[in-house]
Amino acid sequence: MIDIQKIREDFPILQRKVYGKPLVYLDNAATTQKPRVVVDSITEEYYSVNANVHRGVHFLSQQATELHEGSRKTVRDFINAQSTNEIIFTRGTTESINLLAFSFGEEFIKPGDEIMISAMEHHSNIVPWQLLSSRKGAVLKIIPISDQGEILMDEYQKLFTDRTKLVSITHVSNVLGTINPVREIINIAHQHDVPVLLDGAQAIPHIKVDVQELDVDFYAFSSHKVYGPTGIGVLYGKEKWLEKLPPYQGGGEMIQSVTFEKTTFNELPFKFEAGTPDYVGTTAFAKALDYVSAIGIEAIAQYEHELTQYATRQLKQIEGLRIYGEAADKGGAISFLVGDIHHFDLGTLLDRLGIAVRTGHHCAQPLMQRLGITGTVRASLGLYNTKEEIDILVAGIQRITNMF
C-alpha cells in the first residue's frame, strides 16, 4: 500500500499555489517533480564532493568517480541489465536514440535497408531515423495502429523483409497511454534476426522493466521523467551489440590513446561517453531510482493503474468528452478533447484553475494526423497524484464546458 500523503510531503513543489489555487500537477509525462532527496543530493555533491570524474588521483575526484560509477550500478540493477558496461549515460531519451541511430547506422545500414517504427512514435523516435535514412539511403517503414491505439500485430509481421535491420518502437505511448506488447514485438523481430530498440521514456517511471526478461537489444529512457534531474538519460544496449558499434561523439573519456595519426577507443561503456559527464546529475538520478525502488515499482504501477481507471471513468461522465487511446493495456497518460473546444483553450482555462496539463500534438504529429486531429489535452499521472486531484480536474473541465 502506498502512503500518498507521506509521498506528497517528499515533493515540496506540490505544496505551492498557482493563481492562488493549490497546484494540481498532471503533466508528469512531460516531466515529473523531484523529491527532496534528489534536490538535496545535487546541493550536497556540489558543496562537498565536486571534482571531475575518472581523471584525478586526488581524494575528491575518486569520491566523485565512486558516486558516478555507483549510479551506473543503480541503473543496472533498476533495469536488471547484466553488466554496467551496458549502461551508457546520455542527456536523455532523445540523445540515446540519436546515439543509436548514428552508431548503428554507421555500422549496419546500407542503401535500401529498412528500419521499422510505429505510427504512435514521439518525434524523438522518428526524426533520428529520418536523418539516418537520408544519410544512408535507408527506408522507414511504419507499423500501423488501430483506432483504439494498438499496434496492428498482423501488419507488423507482414512488414518484415530480408532488408529489415532494426525495429524501434515506444514501450508506452506518451499520447495514447498504450502499453505495447513489447515481448511479443521483440520475439517476432528476433525470429527475423532483427534487433529491437525500445523507447522507454514513458515506461520506466510506471512499470517494471527487466531488460533481460524482455530480451530487448537496446532501451532508452530519461531521468527527468522518473523523478530525477534533467539532462541525464540512459541507453542500455546488450554488450554484444555495443561492442560492434562505433563511437557517437569524439573527445575526452572515450579514447584509449590518441596520436595525430590514429586514435584507439576506450572500453565499454566509456567508448560512448565523450566529455565530462554530468556526474552530479547521475548521483541524483540514482537517488531518484532508489526512491522509486523503496516505494516499489510494482506498488506504483498498481496505484497508478487504479488512478488511471478512476480518472477514465470520471472523465467519461463529461458530456462530449472523447478519449484518444483506449488500448486494453494502458498507462496513465490520458488524452482527450471535449466537444469542439480547442485543446489550447481548454488547457489554458484549466491552468487558471491551478491544473497543469499539456495541450497540443505532444511531439507526435504523425500520430495526430493518424487520429485526424491537431492536438489533445493530456492529463498524465505520477505516483503522487490522488483521486481528489482527478475530481478537481473533472470539476474544472465541467465548469469550462458550461462556460462554452
Kindly report whether the peptide bond that precedes residue 269 is cis, defined as omega within 30 degrees of 0: yes
Q: Give the shortest CB-90-to-ligand C6P separation in angstroms.
A: 9
Extended beta strands in 47-104, E state: 87-90
From the list 12-20, 74-82, 199-207, 234-242, the region that binds ligand C6P by CB under 6 A is 199-207
Site string for ligand C6P, 117-156 (x = CB under 6 A): -----x-xx-------------------------------
Q: How far apart are CA 394 and CA 171, in angstroms?
A: 28
Q: Mind giving me the DSSP string for 235-263?
A: EEE-HHHHTTSPPSS-SSSSEEEE-SS-E
Please name the amino acid found at residue 379: A
105's grid cell? 547506422
Is residue 363 flagged as an active site residue? yes
User: Is residue 363 near ligand C6P by the rule CB under 6 A?
Assistant: yes
Q: Does 92 help bind ligand C6P (rule: CB under 6 A)?
A: yes
Q: How far is the CB of 182 from ligand C6P (least distance, A)?
A: 13
| 201 sits near ligand C6P (criterion: CB under 6 A) | yes
| In the complex, least distance from residue 8 CB atom to ligand C6P, rounded to whole angstroms | 22
Who contacts 331 (Cβ-Cβ below 8 Å, separation ≥6)?
172, 177, 178, 179, 202, 203, 206, 207, 304, 308
In the complex, the smallest distance separating the C-beta of residue 54 from ligand C6P, rounded to whole angstroms, is 25
CB of 99 to ligand C6P, least distance (A): 12
Among 53, 186, 334, 363, the one annotated catalytic: 363
Q: Give the CA-trace dihedral at 63, 68, 69, 72, to 10 degrees.
A: 160
**Residue 30 or residue 274: which is nearer to ligand C6P going by CB?**
30
Examine residue 90 and tell whether it contacts ligand C6P (CB under 6 A). no
Q: Pick one of 45, 150, 199, 217: the residue that binds ligand C6P (CB under 6 A).
A: 199
Cα torsion at 366, 370, 372, 373 (round to 10°)? -40
Report the alpha-carbon distance of residue 124 to residue 115 in Å, rounded. 15
Q: How far is the CB of 333 from ligand C6P (least distance, A)?
A: 8
Looking at the Cβ atoms of 64 and 203, the one nearer to ligand C6P is 203
β-sheet bridge partners, residue 359 = 377
Nearer of residues 120 and 392 to ligand C6P, judged by Cβ: 120
Q: How many residues bind ligand C6P (CB under 6 A)?
A: 17
Applying CB under 6 A, which part among 55-63, 344-352, 357-365, 381-389 lies near ligand C6P? Answer: 357-365
**Strand runs labelled E in 175-292:** 196-199, 218-222, 233-237, 255-258, 263-265
Rg of the chain (C-alpha set)? 22
Q: Report if residue 54 touches ligand C6P, rule: CB under 6 A.
A: no
d(CA 45, CA 75): 19
Residues numbered 8-37 forming contacts with ligand C6P, rule: CB under 6 A: 29-30
Using rule CB under 6 A, residue 307 touches ligand C6P: no
For ligand C6P, the closer CB: 85 or 202: 202
Integer Cα distance of 394 and 397 in angstroms: 5
Q: Does 207 bind ligand C6P (CB under 6 A)?
A: no
The alpha helices in 296-327, defined as continuous H runs, are 297-316
Is there binding between residue 358 and ligand C6P (CB under 6 A)? yes
Quote the cell numbers at residue 397: 473541465
Of the two residues 271 and 362, which places its CB atom closer to ligand C6P in the complex? 362
The residues annotated as belonging to the active site are 363
User: Which residues of this protein are in contact with ligand C6P, per CB under 6 A?
Assistant: 29-30, 92-94, 122, 124-125, 170, 174, 199, 201-202, 222, 358, 362-363
